[in-house]
Amino acid sequence: MSGSVHTRVLIVGAGGLGVPAAIRLAQSGGVRLTLLDPEPIELSNLARQVIYRTADVGLAKAQVAARRLSQEFPGVDVNPVVGALGPDNAPALVLRHDFIIDGTDDPPTKFLINDASVAARRPFVYGGVLGFSGQAMTVVPGRSACLRCLFEAPPAQGEIASCREAGILGPVAGIIGAIQAEEALSFVRGEQPALAGKILTYDARTSRTRIAAVSARRGCQCGAYDYQRGLPAAPGSGAFTQGKI
């Protein structure tokens, strides 16, 4: 699958992270993109998302972004899907793609992407932005730590400020989205993404970037802990269900 000109990349969210990631991937070519987003463009989106214009307000983000990308990069294959990722469609959508980019801003959807990717053995890159700080991490299911190795469950509603409440800085999202695209491109070239099992944190106030290893957690459904120690797969482990389902 990797290294193919037909690598299928699913970008969940056509906002501050998803759009810069999509632009970078469209520039590079060699991928087929699916852009998934349920929301229309709002006036408040325009300041931090360069691809949308005033006349686009009210139109679906996924469709406008796909149209702009096709105009700008005529060879690119972009398929817009106006809809949200939910428990009902996540398994099939993830399975139809080779690599997933998390461009969402809510923790439950990030965990949904994590779980569907682990179950389907599809690598994905997590991205998050809060205030002046951004993060990215790539999960290669069953090989490197997943989101549930880091946090066992999504934070309770209201426990952390969402991007909407805390406000997100467009340039930080642009940097994280571009990093996410580079992770996908490493996968397309058949290389190990640089952030597999590592979390990158970027702070716009200091311009400092830190990369820290993330340990696979014993007992996590992704199976990375056992794999890294050469242990046999635990029954029901997400990493080793392929062939049985």
At closest approach, how far in Å is the CB of 131 from Zn ion? 27
Q: Are 229 and 236 in contact (CB under 8 A)?
A: no
40, 61 in Cβ contact below 8 A? yes
In the complex, what is the shortest distance from the CB of residue 29 to Zn ion, in angstroms, rounded to a whole number? 33
Toward Zn ion, which CB reaches closer, 68 or 148? 148
Alpha-carbon distance of 92 to 94, in angstroms, equals: 6
| Contact flag: residue 222 with Zn ion (CB under 5 A) | yes
Compute the least distance from the CB of residue 102 to Zn ion, in Å: 15
Residue 216's nearest CA partner among 147, 136, 155, 125 is: 147
Phi-psi sector, 141: left (phi>0), alpha (psi -120 to 50), beta: beta
Among 13, 220, 227, 237, binds Zn ion (CB under 5 A): 220
Q: Which of 98, 105, 153 is CA-nearest to residue 121?
A: 98
Among 36-44, 54-62, 105-113, 221-229, the segment contacting Zn ion (CB under 5 A) = 221-229
Report how many residues bind Zn ion under the rule CB under 5 A: 5
Scanning 37-45, 50-58, 90-98, 222-230 for contacts with Zn ion by CB under 5 A, the matching segment is 222-230
CA distance 113 to 199: 17
Out of 149, 176, 179, 200, name the contact with Zn ion by CB under 5 A: 149
Look up tokens 């999202």; give the residue.
173
Binding residues for Zn ion restricted to 127-146, rule: CB under 5 A? 146
Among 148, 176, 188, 240, binds Zn ion (CB under 5 A): 148
Residues that bind Zn ion (CB under 5 A): 146, 148-149, 220, 222
